[in-house]
Amino acid sequence: MDIILASGSPRRKELLTQLGLSFQVLVSDADETVDKSPPPADQVALISRRKAEAVAYKAGPDALVIAADTIVALDGQVMGKPHSREEAFQMLSLIQGKTHQVYTGLTLQRGQQTQTHVECTAVTFRPMSWAEIKAYVASGEPMDKAGAYGIQGLGGVFVEGIQGDYFNVMGLPICQLGMALKSFGVEVMG
């Protein structure tokens, strides 16, 4: 069976490769806009389903599509990817010294069979100085990441602790993914 990752995220590609999976990438063109009133978990579930459906339609009924969507929320307020350095600075200023949540919606679809899961990980940032935030933003790393940081890169130096799946913070909860793959007949360790 063909496995298709419905994402252009280099982090998701890297994680699937580490699992030893052979897969193709077909980036979804699904509409990612949602009403901001539902809880963050509902938002990522909906967007990941849309992404999976859009790619499954193109890939055909025999392909297994893996789609994901990740957002960061602080006190229920969703933070997407920053559109400017100023917005990145603002996001980091808000989350520094606090605990926020990272939600990933994960959808697997093959033909008419679809599963959607949502993972939530709590991430605590240490207090950061304005100079640290400015230097991190200047590095460019925050610009393509939800919440304006990458835990696997320079942003990791600000993470005081996490509760939950570390890989979820990178954008793909691999424990949940491994269980879901198994239910579709794909063994990661077998």
69 is catalytic: yes
The b-or-e profile of 86-123 (16+ CB within 10 A means b, else e) is ebbbebbebbbeeebbbbbbbbbbbeeeebbbbbbbeb
Beta carbons within 8 Å of 106's beta carbon, 6+ residues apart: 48, 66, 67, 68, 116, 117, 118, 119, 172, 173, 176, 177, 180
Percentages (nearest 5) of helix, strand, coil residues in the chain: 40, 25, 35
Q: Please list the alpha-helical segments (H only) found in the chain.
A: 10-18, 40-59, 85-95, 130-138, 166-170, 174-183
Domains of the chain: 3-183 (3.90.950.10)
Residues in the chain: 190
Out of 69, 75, 144, 165, the active site residue is 69
> Which long-range contacts (C-beta less than 8 Å, at least 24 apart) are formed by 135-140?
136/92, 137/85, 137/88, 137/89, 137/92, 138/85
- Amino acid residing at 22: S
pLDDT given at position 1 = 79
Instruction: Encode the chain (190 residues) as per-residue pLDDT tens digits.
Output: 799 999 999 999 999 999 999 999 999 988 888 887 889 999 999 999 999 999 998 998 899 999 999 999 999 899 988 999 999 999 999 999 999 999 999 999 999 999 999 999 999 999 999 999 999 999 999 998 989 999 999 999 999 999 999 999 999 999 999 999 999 999 887 6
pLDDT given at position 190 = 63
pLDDT given at position 183 = 95
Decide the pairing of beta strands 113-125 and 99-110.
Answer: antiparallel
Structure tokens at 84: 């400017």
pLDDT given at position 37 = 82
